[in-house]
Structure 1
């Protein structure tokens, strides 16, 4: 007999704190549906009090998800908790996750509160949250650098107040596995009524130990792990969900726990999150990297051919790696298109959206003979852009590049409903296109990142471009896909400009969360 390990996914909240990774409401819903398909236990949909946009996104996820618990983060103050409670109201199963810092440095330098005040505020927060749901989680921010005696005191009081899950975050990634396991073991042994709650951990990866610390905590008695798809998150990221899940599954002889995760949905989730956030997955990333199941060495290849388990401890298909599946072509009809979108987890909300998406699909089919699932994901990512968000739009592009001559780009843009023609030269066709755009956009944004990935194989593959722009304190990612890489680049740049142009400013909770 093994215990159930609760998988708490915070891709939509902590993952969103990666610079430029903020997601729209529609993008959060798409990822949430994939997480639900993967049978994640708890989906932390956002920080409802951060902004009206975050509130609406949490509420939209709560309305869309049926099988997973939907959670909102809240600081230990009444306003945050009220907003979180209102946001999760539509959820079939809702949770409020409230937190307050408990380390000496955080209490003194950030909160400017005495320890007694922190304890009382934590208890009040549980009371406010229980007015909305019985499923209340409490986190002691920076628990990894907190005094154990004080943690015991805080946890005893919040358990008595009604908290059902106690989360012990290694907020700054400071702990080592042996040290962190001893902390968890000590807390479970010393805190009264410890057996009445689920003990949870939330580890950051500053020293590259987030997964190791999380698994050490599981061996010490933790029964919930907070993690993200692809290890996304602020600074060096969070514990990687796919690594935690597959470690527990692969080493069932060692870990006394099991999860309910459908592991075949891991790779699709990884690709979707990477595409939406613009954060590519490194090829040698465990489980979901392109090389995770590749064998270059002749000795390894020979061994795998003779018997797979000589060099593979997991099956690629068990985590969702399959050959690119040919799905549709230029002769495919509307019903086949709609059915395939539903099969890969993309919902169509209206006939108008379906018509627009189908028209784009036909355009792509004329350029590209074979269309795969990855192409559909890229195509539909463009469809999630609402007209009110599309201040800048590419109408036409003409680029000339010749050896020995300066590349030239001539673009027609629609800006706020009015067409503008612009042209420029540059060091290359992409540079010329960006300079042409800036002539009329005049954003004064700084280009931080430009990256290109092929969505599928073949010379007719769509190129997916990510552009990261910074202006003032704002950092945004823009994505664009097209069989013409120059067009994809222009789309990505304009997509980033549209995000900078929106007036909805998200309160940045970095440094304020577990």
Structure 2
């Protein structure tokens, strides 16, 4: 039986910020990283199959790992951490499957994690036997709280663990000369370790491994717990790069976590500070609040004109695979790839996007308000960019109609459409689909019912004057009407007034072709004052003048019905 104990209110600890201390950032007045620029993609290492897997309530099955592995290959990863084979039989078996079934492409290197313990290191090399190339990632904890409260060792004791582990890795590698070995060391909890001690313990490991320019060692600096502002972490990385020995023989790697929500920012600033390599997971899955999100960081680079060297042009496939393997849903507002990221509901946003899209040329740099990249680069259509709900303005509905009808609504017609769209969205209390907006547009401006309908017409022109004769059905009667004017439309308004007594003044008129070629249809849009009432009508016909006359009659029908 589970018993939940609830403390009386007066015995509970209060929400008290005084229990916490400011992060002790290093004093670095000579920082250079703020003036640097990221010019190229870093080396990427996916840790979805190890770090990401350990963070799941239900770890991945073998089949799920295989699907994730294939996705990572398809995306272009060249370094992939595949497990902790010494600590988990499923991880061991997966590593063996990769090797024994020749699942590792020649240009891809697998990476495995291991603690600085002899028996675990031996088991790790057994798991990797037969691999063409592999990274052995050794680590031990270095922060004061880990030293003092977890391992109960002083600094010398922690350094000794790292030294002995490095020797053991080097010795075991010599037993398997057929494999090209790359060594990697992490001072776990680097982010909360005294910077000089982090340099000291890494130098100890470097002394053991003796890297060369053409045989580099990876030193991985993890923000195991994100404890500071990203700029403070960048200071630590730059200081480390300045003081570690044999820097030219090292690959400086970064592995940030998201406790403060700044994992991507910290990783980006670390590149400015001198790092070469980034470890992370797709969509940020990882323990506590997550790992560094490689999708976000890669797309950040892409948006700055930098080739991320990873292919995220089909994010829906990434999301589907990651969700199937992790059982974690992707937030609709997830940076770059969320379902709603390229969706604008705000009326002013919609209007700005729509106007920019009409002016954006294919051969010029992308410059569209509210859209930092072209959604089509990620397989998203423009129809998903602008969606309509009760918060939307006239621009959103107009954009959807433009996609449906192939025309650009004039501003005055956008204004007339906005009110009924707003009313429907409020009644529905949700988003309107494009077909709903189209139906509403037709009901209000293109109704098939109404009092008057055009049956036929004939126009004669004498100089600047036009004479029109038209057949109009007036409910059950057929009228033959005649009129004169400076144009066909004014002549038609004159004819209607003479025959019915209805005064029609055309206020706005626009005509657009909905297709190209000799058989193109025309869409006529009219705003008229009918007996002092403003009304709009729209009609489509291959005969451009017929479309205009029908649009006038629909405006009249709307006005006389009010």
Q: TM-score range by the shorter chain?
A: 0.5 to 0.7
Structure number, greater radius of gyration: 2
Q: Structure 1 residue 129 and structure 2 residue 176: aligned?
A: no
Q: Is the 8 A contact 1:76 1:100 kept in 2?
A: yes
Match of 2:198 in 1: 151
Q: CA 1:219/1:58 → structure 2, altered by over 3 Å: closer, same or farther? A: same
Match of 1:292 in 2: 341
In terms of mean alpha carbon deviation, does 178-187 or 288-297 score higher? 288-297
Q: How many angstroms does 1:259 deviate by?
A: 3.6
Match of 1:483 in 2: none
Counterpart among 356, 375, 388 of residue 316 in structure 1: 375
Match of 1:138 in 2: 185
The one-character-per-residue Cα deviations of 1:431-470 (angstroms, maximum 9, x if unpaired) are xxxxxxxxxxxxxxxxxxxxxxxxxxxxxxxxxxxxxxxx
- Cα distance between partner residues in 2 of 1:76 and 1:82: 11
Q: List aligned pairs for 1:495-514, cutoff 5 A.
A: none
Q: How many angstroms does 1:4 deviate by?
A: 4.7
Counterpart among 341, 356, 359 of residue 307 in structure 1: 356
- What are structure 1's unaligned runs of at least 5 residues? 324-514
- Cα distance between partner residues in 2 of 1:57 and 1:250: 36
- Cα distance between partner residues in 2 of 1:4 and 1:157: 30
Q: Structure 1 residue 277 and structure 2 residue 326: aligned?
A: yes
The one-character-per-residue Cα deviations of 1:93-145 (angstroms, maximum 9, x if unpaired) are 31111100011110122223332232232123233334335311110111111
Counterpart among 171, 178, 200 of residue 253 in structure 2: 200
Compute the TM-score of the two structures, normalised by the length of structure 1. Answer: 0.59
Match of 1:65 in 2: 104
The one-character-per-residue Cα deviations of 1:390-435 (angstroms, maximum 9, x if unpaired) are xxxxxxxxxxxxxxxxxxxxxxxxxxxxxxxxxxxxxxxxxxxxxx
Match of 2:53 in 1: 16
Q: How many angstroms does 1:3 deviate by?
A: 4.8
The one-character-per-residue Cα deviations of 1:126-168 (angstroms, maximum 9, x if unpaired) are 3333433531111011111101111111111222222611111
- Cα distance between partner residues in 2 of 1:158 and 1:218: 23
Match of 1:101 in 2: 141
Q: CA 1:45/1:199 → structure 2, altered by over 3 Å: closer, same or farther? A: same
Q: CA 1:322/1:175 → structure 2, altered by over 3 Å: closer, same or farther? A: same
Q: Structure 1 residue 29 and structure 2 residue 66: aligned?
A: yes
- Cα distance between partner residues in 2 of 1:83 and 1:266: 37
Q: Secondary structure at the match of 1:64?
A: coil
Q: List aligned pairs for 1:334-413, cutoff 5 A.
A: none
Q: Is the 8 A contact 1:40 1:68 kept in 2?
A: yes
Q: Is the 8 A contact 1:38 1:265 kept in 2?
A: no
Counterpart among 161, 171, 175 of residue 224 in structure 2: 171
Q: Structure 1 residue 74 and structure 2 residue 114: aligned?
A: yes
Q: How many angstroms does 1:320 deviate by?
A: 4.8
Q: CA 1:267/1:140 → structure 2, altered by over 3 Å: closer, same or farther? A: farther
In terms of mean alpha carbon deviation, does 265-274 or 189-198 score higher? 265-274
The one-character-per-residue Cα deviations of 1:40-81 (angstroms, maximum 9, x if unpaired) are 131111111122112112332444231421111101112222
- Cα distance between partner residues in 1 of 2:181 and 2:156: 25
Q: Secondary structure at the match of 2:299?
A: helix
Q: Is the 8 A contact 2:65 2:325 kept in 1?
A: no
Q: List aligned pairs for 1:444-463, cutoff 5 A.
A: none
Q: CA 1:123/1:240 → structure 2, altered by over 3 Å: closer, same or farther? A: same
- Cα distance between partner residues in 2 of 1:322 and 1:90: 46
- Cα distance between partner residues in 2 of 1:128 and 1:273: 36
The one-character-per-residue Cα deviations of 1:340-386 (angstroms, maximum 9, x if unpaired) are xxxxxxxxxxxxxxxxxxxxxxxxxxxxxxxxxxxxxxxxxxxxxxx
Say what the alpha-carbon RMSD is for the aligned residues: 2.2
Structure number with higher relative contact order (C-alpha < 8 Å, ≥ 6 residues apart): 1
Match of 2:438 in 1: none
Q: Secondary structure at the match of 2:261?
A: coil
Q: List aligned pairs for 1:113-262, cutoff 5 A.
A: 113-130=153-170, 131-132=172-173, 133-162=180-209, 164-252=217-305, 259-262=308-311
Q: How many angstroms does 1:208 deviate by?
A: 0.6
Q: Structure 1 residue 50 and structure 2 residue 97: aligned?
A: no
In terms of mean alpha carbon deviation, does 51-60 or 300-309 score higher? 300-309
Number of positions where the alignment pairs a residue of Structure 1 with one of Structure 2: 320
- Cα distance between partner residues in 2 of 1:115 and 1:190: 19
Query: Which aligned runs of 4 or more in structure 1 are off by greater than 6 angstroms?
Result: none
- Cα distance between partner residues in 2 of 1:247 and 1:93: 31
In terms of mean alpha carbon deviation, does 177-186 or 240-249 score higher? 240-249
- Cα distance between partner residues in 2 of 1:114 and 1:107: 6
